[in-house]
């Protein structure tokens, strides 16, 4: 199964403080804005999303159809196909994509330890 680009989405208390911290680790702003209360930080192919006031817990995020530069991949598994595979393997989903739709969609699931996983397709 091809899940696409991986990032960790962190719920932060102070976006400016977190931005500075990750810049000191060598990350630079790749997307988002302070005004939108989120930044996507990049260091090589590592991505860290910083989100202030958007959700409670940290989230592992996969983006089917994208590489780590948000460039469209020629070969990827559509989120609806991933959803079907997960459901066929008895994995419960918290939210589901409309199986009759195409294009952008997302699903959310939780791993056995309570970690949230977002599979978020933008294309």
Local confidence pLDDT in tens for the 123 residues of the chain: 999 999 999 999 999 999 999 999 999 999 999 999 999 999 999 999 999 999 999 999 999 999 999 999 999 999 999 999 999 999 999 999 999 999 999 999 999 999 999 999 999
Q: How far apart are CA 59 and CA 7, in angstroms?
A: 9
The pLDDT, as a whole number, for residue 11 is: 97
d(CA 7, CA 47): 5
Architecture of the domain made up of 5-121: Roll (3.10)
pLDDT of residue 109: 98
Q: What was the pLDDT predicted at 18?
A: 98
């Amino acid at each position: 199964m091809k899940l696409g680009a991986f990032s960790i989405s962190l719920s932060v208390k102070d976006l400016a403080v977190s931005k500075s911290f990750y810049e000191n680790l060598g990350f630079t702003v790749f997307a988002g804005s302070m005004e939108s209360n989120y930044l996507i930080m990049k260091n090589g192919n590592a991505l860290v999303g910083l989100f202030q006031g958007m959700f409670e817990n940290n989230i592992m995020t996969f983006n089917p159809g994208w590489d780590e530069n948000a460039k469209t991949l020629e070969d990827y598994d559509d989120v609806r196909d991933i959803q079907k595979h997960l459901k066929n393997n008895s994995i419960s989903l918290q939210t589901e994509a409309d199986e009759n739709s195409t294009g952008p969609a997302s699903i959310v699931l939780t791993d056995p330890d309570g970690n949230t996983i977002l599979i978020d397709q933008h294309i």
